Amino acid sequence: MVRKILCVILGIFMIAVEVRAEEYLSDPAAEPLDFMGIRWGQDVGGIPGLVETYRSEEGDMAVYTRSDDAKLFGSVNLDSIEYVFVRGKLTRGSFVAKGEKDEAALLREALYIFGKETARVGGDYMWRFTDTNVLFSSEPQFEQSALFFIYLPRE
């Protein structure tokens, strides 16, 4: 479900924001260089504790969780943390919060860490960095919100 939501949100933001426009970049000092201690682009092999929860039919994308993760982002109690590897390399991650209190806290924490968003569509926020995008989306119909980290290195 989170994967479908991410695709829709990413599509909306790509339409709303010119992806290559330098003037829309967030503060470079706040750019996430890893996700939960795993460097972007790091190979899936050798990362302890990963448990595969989904693999695409083509086999090039796999989603993992780690049972030993402290499900916290700052002061936010998270429902889940997912790691997405494409062709064996870390390319995305997500934090999911449920319940109004933790959903609001997730957005506050993101604003505190990343600063003012570079784009906003309704209740969704985006922070665009040089190689990473961070997206916050509230999904009332699922009674959850998510903070997505997407590694998009420039060629």
Residue 93 makes CB contacts below 8 A (sequence gap 6+) with: 35, 36, 81, 82, 83, 84, 148, 149
What is the domain count for the chain?
1
Question: What is the model's pLDDT at position 107?
Answer: 94
Please state the rounded mean pLDDT for residues 8-15: 46
Closest CA to 92 of 11, 29, 7, 1: 7
Q: What is the pLDDT of residues 103-143, one digit of tens each?
A: 899 999 999 999 999 999 888 999 999 999 999 999 888 88
Q: What is the pLDDT of residues 89-107, one digit of tens each?
A: 999 999 999 988 898 999 9
Using the CB atoms, write b or e for 105-114: b if 16+ within 10 Å.
bbbebbeeeb
Question: What is the model's pLDDT at position 24?
Answer: 61
Question: What is the model's pLDDT at position 63?
Answer: 97
Q: Which domain holds residue 92?
A: 2-151
Two tokens, residue 125: 């926020």
User: 44: alpha, beta or left, given left = phi > 0 and alpha = psi -120 to 50?
Assistant: alpha
Question: What is the model's pLDDT at position 19?
Answer: 43
pLDDT at 88 over 70: yes
Closest CA to 8 of 121, 154, 144: 121
pLDDT at 20 over 70: no
